[in-house]
Chain A
Amino acid sequence: MTRILAIETSCDETGAAVIEDGRRILSNVVASQVELHAPYGGIFPEIASRAHVEAIVPVIEQAMREAHLTYDDLDGVAVTYGPGLAGSLLVGVNAAKGLALGSGRPLLGVNHLEAHIYAHWLETAESAPRTASGAELEFPLLALLVSGGHTELILMRGHGQYEYLGGTLDDAAGEAFDKVGRLLGLPYPGGPAIQRASEGGRPTAFRFPRAWLGESYDFSFSGLKTAVLREVQKYSDPPQGQVLADLAASFQAAVVDVLATKTARAAEEFGVREVLLCGGVSANRALREVTTERAAVPVRYLPPFLCTDNGAMVGACAYHHFQAGDRAGWDLDVVPGLRLAGRGRKGR
């Protein structure tokens, strides 16, 4: 049995988890900073680093307590080293180094993007029977990774084998939700706020543009943001009631339309067995429904607590690296612009 303590501080959530064999969640503690950043409509880096410093020790202690383990029971200490905010990443990396050094356990460095994909290997209350019966995920897989900082389509042919099919050319999907949320006078974060506001709205009320970008698997949401802005500027007051619901629903439909269509097309072209929706934006209901509808293969999505940033996914990912013999050195440094893979043959 392999038990890994995993730490995640890449953005605005302080997370720590203990994961057994890469799939069983013994504990998973997340201290969210959403409320701290809400007044600003986005994450303020200095506030984020300071909040991580305050939260990191209690969060790790709670994760160990809930797992009923001592540091002697661990096989390794894993941490996200990128991509993310430099100041935030540093807090987690330094905490992990201290714990690994103090407990004499190996240090494992994890790519945040890869961790989001590995969240799918975790057992949850709903998925436990499936994995327990041996119904494993089958390669090749297609991952759509959508969050505040990322929008990427990644082909995964095996553990640790990634091919980048496409990604955003300007704003990330989650960033588009945040910025449009701000234009509509909605609270931060924009994703859940827009989903709520869109209830009762007509997705076809406004004809917002879709950037198809030909045959590529790239995305662009900047023009869509500007189109919403132009519509909002027609009103003297911030939109409310049915107009607000229609704007939110139409914007959401435009984002989901492009994400789901390209994902379904890539799934077919590369003959994948399953599609994995990952990242904070994958908690969006419309995205789940439409992707499931359009893809010819099963589409898997996660409970909300595994969509947003958390330590459990880092532990799941770290397990596979641990098995492969990967170990980080004591000179492990943060890499804010870390990527998962280079562009594949479909790249531009």
Chain B
Amino acid sequence: MAPILDPHTLEFVSRNPTQTHRLGVRLGALLPGGAVVCLEGPLGAGKTRFAQGIGRGWGAEQTLISPTFVLVREYDRAEDDVRLYHVDLYRISGAEEAFGLGLDDFLGDERAVCLIEWAERARSLIPPEHLWVRLAFADGDPLRRIINFTAQGERHAALLRRFRREAFGV
């Protein structure tokens, strides 16, 4: 099915990093506790930029910075006790290691929102219900990115429908 006709996917071309960030802000504002957002894309595709937008929209008290060094960074917001976990799985290869990070303590927890970069490196760790966001370079324009959203499970599909409506009016 063409992406535009499939209610579980959405494709969008971002003109530049600022627009990618703004899209993240829109999505972040809609994320309920228990949401899992996976970010896939090569170095420089804008994963962290998009994640920063999500953090801003969600209401994180600090700007999200790269989680590469500590693997997991946690953020709070003023309005409730839901926590945002920003995870980098680039160097995680299996469930045993993820256990050491305490991933299973917060993945899918109702009081946790999880943003996972390099999720494709450890697919077995990702809960079956999630929103998968793929960022890819577009030919011809160095700033342009193709962003593809795919929802798994009814809850994340509803999230994607809301995002589509609020961000694009369709």
Binding site for B on A (CB under 8 A): 11, 40, 42-46, 49, 83-87, 148-150, 167-172, 175, 179, 182-183, 222-223, 225-226, 229-230, 336-337
Contact = CB atoms under 8 A, between A and B. Distances in A.
B17 to A, nearest CB: 8
A85 B70 contact: yes
Contact of A222 (B49, B90, B96): B49
A167 B69 CA distance: 15
B65 A43 contact: no
13 contacts: A40-B91, A42-B91, A44-B91, A46-B92, A46-B94, A148-B69, A150-B69, A170-B48, A170-B65, A171-B66, A172-B66, A175-B69, A225-B43
B73 interface: yes
Interface stretch (B7-15, B27-35, B97-105, B107-115): B97-105
B68 interface: yes
B74 interface: yes
A222 B48 contact: yes
Nearest to B101: A86
A336 B93 CA distance: 20
Interface in B83-141: 90-94, 96-97, 100-102
B71 interface: yes
B72 interface: yes
A115 B65 CA distance: 22
A179 B43 contact: yes
B52 interface: yes
A45 B49 contact: no
A42 B43 contact: no
A85 B71 contact: yes
Contacts of A85: 70-71
B169 interface: no
Interface string B50-92: 0010000000000101101111111000000000000000111
* Most chain A Cβ neighbours within 10 Å, of B43, B90, B91: B91
* Most chain A Cβ neighbours within 10 Å, of B48, B70, B90, B142: B70
Contacts of A49: 100
A167 B62 CA distance: 12
B69 A45 contact: no
A9 to B, nearest CB: 14
* Most chain B Cβ neighbours within 10 Å, of A43, A46, A49: A46
Contact of B68 (A171, A223, A229, A336): A171
B66 A175 contact: yes
Contact of A337 (B44, B73, B100): B73
B100 A86 contact: yes
A336 B72 contact: yes
A45 B71 contact: yes
Contacts of A229: 43-44
Contact of A170 (B66, B73, B74): B66
Contacts of A83: 70
B100 A87 contact: yes
A138 B17 CA distance: 43
Contacts of B101: 45, 86-87
Given A86-B102, A337-B70, A337-B74, 5 more contacts: A45-B91, A148-B69, A149-B69, A168-B66, A175-B69
A169 B65 contact: yes
Contact of B63 (A148, A169, A175, A337): A169
B70 A336 contact: yes
A49 B97 CA distance: 10
A233 to B, nearest CB: 9
B67 to A, nearest CB: 10
A27 B65 CA distance: 36
Contacts of A170: 48-49, 52, 65-66
A225 B44 contact: yes
A209 B91 CA distance: 28
Contacts of A337: 70, 73-74
Contacts of B48: 170-171, 222
A170 B62 CA distance: 12
A218 to B, nearest CB: 9
B92 A45 contact: yes
Interface string B36-47: 000000011000
A43 B68 CA distance: 10
Nearest to B142: A230
A87 B70 CA distance: 10
Contacts of A168: 65-66
B100 A46 contact: yes
A37 to B, nearest CB: 9
A129 B74 CA distance: 45
A170 B49 CA distance: 8
Nearest to B137: A233
